[in-house]
Structure 1
């Protein structure tokens, strides 16, 4: 009997293991998989067979000035080996991870406050951010001694992912382990449903997310070992209200049948194999089952609800309602109609606006009382993801560089209360500052003054200080031609111009801080870029932009109007480009579509700006971040290149390239530069080729929401180009509006730009030449159509007139369409061709004079 009992237990164990394994039926191999045990001297293998590398062994991960390693020898009360060591930072430190391709990435940060003699990690306060998103701001484990794991989901589009740890003053930052792991491409779709107003929310793929709750409703905890993509699913017990109203149900995971188009990676079958339904012992069945979750009312949330009918005995028997914070999310959910079978998974995404949330998220399900039909309702799984704010924050009202978004109304009284104390402290501190100034090291000014690096090559710091001191309040129209930086603005002037840097005036956000729309005293509109001195990366890019713009002037480069370096501020003032970035006019903003001629002229303008960068300065300049968001349009749709924060001086005559770390944006990045880290001006040419395809197809360079073969625009478009079918994927607004020869020349230019090797790509001058020719072909075609229409109209008019005189139309020069690679050929006795006006700075001023010479 005992022997049979042992056999039975072994059978149950084997069956359980087999069922558990069934949740891994669809394997997933992440293309990027960084598991780092911070501070550990060796690799660490966990019970789930995952191996974490030591950040000592992978020193390239970490860049820090001062860090401390701590460890404990006893494993008592420590959940797993990851929490035996930690790395502590007393200054800003950065981990960097090389991404092999763009897409969704899990970031999991493990915190366990190890007891040590140097720091009380339970009271440490610090921030963690990427280049685009604040993950944690002034974070602390709040004296807790338990493990804290923070999980994030980011759509990474850059070749390097940075994790920056910044301790607060007199504090320290720490980390025990980091996971940076690729997630499936289709994990987050681009569109979700909104509750108020009811409709669709697009742009989910452009947000970052923090996982707050991931619930296996009605079932047990699912560990990362039992989830193909390493997620943890909690039980719903602690969130369920009125347990007596709910009943747990479950079936074998093996009977779950995923429909076509729904990947098992969305949720394992263990989630769909369990559920909560309405308890059957209740006398009055008209009630809702309720779950409550604590939330931050300052953010929007993505709610994903998982359903699978494992309770019905037949189809068309279950209809129920779903509510979120009192709003109807789904009325009469009929899973049978949606899935056409039982035990078939289904999920739906909802975007809940912050206006609908106080401090709790409330999810409810209840019967629809459809007759006939069971009086019941079910829920199988629930995920609650916090969405990043408009300034790229997942924690507090702060942007990526910690810029305060404005004090809340409740804080204003407190601010006023401490105002007097602050003023008194300022007077006391002033004396100390004077003493410190006279005792400062000789090189203090050089290291810490904004002006020390603000100046161009030929100006001295004393020149600026003298000029500023002579201006009194600085409120003047003083222009410094010596500095090459334009007008000096006082901080108060820029405060007034931007409404005290009103967040409603923000027209752009970057790693440096925000860009504001400002109005000067004379009514001139300007773009005010306010840097954040706390950002080392921002300072570097700011410095580069100043150095570049101080020696560049061109019609197709955004002009620097002036600057401010008062009170340690780093502010640049540019001409305002009222029509914004080119990208907004191609897709995503519902703006009127650009005509083909407009797109050609914009691409030509951008090409002129880049051609000037490469050839017009004493030493050529490589932009290094050419993309449609960095091509700005003024009120007349004149294109100008912007954002020179990543720019580099081109190699000298003795060099073939510049060796530098990879910077740029996925989708635009030169593959040769990415592989070899050798930068040339042909890297800009490659990026510009992608811009040309964006202008033609009106879609992003990278769109992870599309099928895999369509994600990368350059690869996808070139496949169609090789088939001779590129016209099948162009912007629908352009169909029938493009002269075939013009499009052919344009597509050839893009293809040459995208050559695998830089040596095979044309110069920007050659690209510009081809684009101007494509514009001529388009204009000649349009002119020809107009003449034909005029001719037909004239013929009709003269035929109907009493005099019967026929008026001959004016002759125009024909385009030799049989030789599309050559410029327009003018026949001996024909009228002169209409040649598009060429900007004198384009490097092709003589183009019209050599129209009869064969093209290169």
Structure 2
């Protein structure tokens, strides 16, 4: 795109239209414009009109090569006529021109195109026009369907489109259209589909717009983050409305009672807004056709009203991230087609009901962080389709059902932070189990050795229970990314491979365990007792020396007064550097990277080792104590795919510099942006899997979880074996939220890594990191940098891929041609995963656990 040219043209346009009399004048004039063709123009042959239109386009792939005066236009590619005689006998017919995804650009000659008699359907979607929406398209009086989606149109939405009286479908989604939605569009009384999602529309929606559009079946305004409007009650007066998609569109206030009248609704998505108050009583009573309900990410409160159990076709019930109280309506769980229940992060209470075993189609139940009590329903294991049951941070008690894994699809079990007791059952049937989290309960007995027989089990967290006995040697059979058995009463020797090879192992709080690297080494227990007397003597000597040193230090500080150092250096691991040496090394010759928050320096230590130091210029003026507390949490993170934080330095001005371990290969961005990206597919897949495992650890295995919030290829460091290390995580915690957002907004070159909802949501989520991860996956699959400002084709890799993904040969255009064809199938699979991760809708992105599972699949 060419933002400077675009903005200057737009400013000229706005300068003209902002004169008070002009919009009204244009509205009066538009009917005259539509019908003011001369007789000669009207009689111009159709093929000449279409060729004039073609001449205005840039067609790099030759997609319109068959457009020739020597061939009847109904035989041209991408042109369809309903009457076989059209173009031969001059019979007027309905004509469709579908130019979707052809890589076209240029200045559209809408004047010629709109003189084509019978032009009913026009699609210019998924191209690269980079211009304002052509006003002259309002002359296409016969149009029934107009699709201009994802074609790099910008500027205001023309009110002149109100002249298209016969229009049934209007799609302008995925562009950069700004300003308000013109109230004049209310004149399109026959409109059935209006798709404006993913633009930059703003302001308040005019009531008249929806009062008149009573024929609408499909309305999508999602992703227009700058709208500032309550939910229009007039939407409830659209009796034909089936799809209402308003996700992340700046809506506020209560859900209007008028919505209860939308009896034809199939999909209702009001998620990621600022809605408040209770859901209207009787909500759902008349929604007999509703398939999907999404109210997540709002501020809705009160009990969820009865009535939803009357939605007999409901498949998805998503209300997470609100403040609902009371019980979930009991009839919900027995709906015959229900597949997904997401109610986490609310204040629901009561007992979880038994599920209708044998007939239920439930696939995932997520009710974490509520106040549910009672036992876990035994019928969960009898639901054959269940693959995720997550109920952590509740008040559940009783024992864990031994049939929980009788469901052949069960992959994720998380009942951590409850009051469940008894022994851990033998999960011998859990052949697809990836993650088992039972931490912070009251489990007793031993760890079942049968866990070692589960082929894809990757994450085990049994911490903070009362488990006894030894750690089973069978766990060495697993390819674990996490084993946390800390704070139990385990004893005996720790299997050697678990200590040496496992990326993230937590054994602390079990004084009876012994083995290499532990306080007890198992083989020489008497050595400790033999040295007690000598140790006591040494301690007494050291204590005296320390007291003398403290006194001398206090005297020295008093003498130094104002000459004390302005820097405070905190090291979490032995590192031979002082604060003065660190700051002395902050000069340009040592700079190895630049980002939104400052520069990264390579500093050589006294012992010959190197460290990377990220100097954060965007100081949020946090106190030293605040920064230290945050950095201590981040420095404790241990995983083979997480770069180790060795320390930090704090200046009296509030500036923070973070010290990381350094890797000679540099970052993934360095490799991608090199003259030739030479990394083979197996190594690229290794980078993707390691990065996914590191992120999954940050999101789900840290307590509390850690969001990265600045994930990009420059923050993916590569060890000698191409094992990735995630760096730059948690910067927002060291600088403060306000400074973090201000710096991120200023980093225009890295905006392509940022999830679309970043600009309008107050509460960041794991799924924003998933989006950034998806962008890196696209870099690995395509071999292209995420941002290419000098490219005339497309500067954003996500848009670049979206324009090609649905073409017949789209994959061949997207996948890196330097990779062997034998890897094409795997690359195609990873490409599909990357597209899911970069979905505009957050809830359509997979969690990092699922990403790890998919990347591990053969």
Normalised by the length of structure 2, the TM-score is 0.31
Q: Which protein has greater RCO, CA pairs closer than 8 Å, 6+ apart?
A: 1
Q: Which has the higher strand share?
A: 1
Normalised by the length of structure 1, the TM-score is 0.31
